[in-house]
Amino acid sequence: MRPAFSRTYGKLWKEWTWLTESDTKRSREQIRRLKNSFKGNVERCFIIGNGPSLRNMDLQPLKHEVTFGQNRIYLLFDKMGFETTFLVAVNYLVLRQFSEDFDGLSMPKFVQWESRNEFQNKENLLYVRFKLGPSIDNPSTLGTLPFSRNIPHRVWLGSTVTYVSMQIAYYLGFKQVILIGVDHNFTSKGEEGKVVISQGDDPNHFAPNYFGQGVQWQLPGLESSEVAYRIAKQFYEKNDREILDATIGGKLNVFPKVEYTGLF
């Protein structure tokens, strides 16, 4: 029985590997077709964070803009009246706990490659793989840490999904990126990256059930995120592009501030 089992297992492994490689190849080719697809056509895009400030914003003007939603932004879609153009979610806890939600979303979704097997519907998944960093462990490297131009190959995590979105937006060719909902301010404090379990309503995001009771999530690293944001700012400006911050009442002071309502 053992040799037969081994042959069967070997066959299944070969088929699974082929399917995984095929799906990865499909994703890589789709991402490559997106390179500079907006360059010279659509000048700007919006990266939408998930901060409480979104509750105080009229998001209807974004309906006709190119938007990058992040993580569980879909909880706001009914109120917004539209879905974001893209969705970016790269945290393994988010992808593991809410994979069924992501399966039901139709827009292209950039997710981390390592979590690919969490999903049933892989049709609109675009996989990104990570390099470690940036971090604040060696501040002398600020400005030399990579900002990825080649999304199908690798992206840098930078302690925040927003930094990943900035790299994707650059790859797609946008000249101007505008941030909203990036409050850069968390009520929950503690060791960066520590996994905790929510004990009640979520005060850190736009909806109380965003990371509601019983949900696992990682405590943020605001200082590490700022390092990544400074690198993004430098990289964009060096290449005649810009990142602006239209978050209402946000605590992030890296990017030039603009008034949200004046953008339309």
Cα 243–45–258 angle (5° rounding)?
45
Do 175 and 239 meet the contact criterion of CB atoms below 8 Å apart? no
Q: Cβ neighbours of residue 45 under 8 Å, at least 6 residues apart?
A: 38, 65, 66, 67, 68, 85, 169, 172, 174, 176, 177, 178
pLDDT tier for residue 132 given thresholds of 50, 70 and 90:
low
- Single-letter amino acid, residue 96: R
pLDDT tens, 42-58? 899 999 999 999 999 99
* Token digits of residue 199: 């004990």
196 pLDDT above the threshold of 50: yes
pLDDT given for residue 134 in this prediction = 53
Residue 152, C-beta contacts closer than 8 angstroms, at least 6 positions apart: 28, 31, 32
Q: Is the pLDDT of residue 157 over 90?
A: no
Is 205:211 a contact under the CB 8 Å cutoff? yes
**What is the CB neighbour count within 10 angstroms for residue 89?**
25
User: Could you give the domains of the chain?
Assistant: 35-263 (3.90.1480)
Q: How far is CA 84 from its chain centroid? A: 12
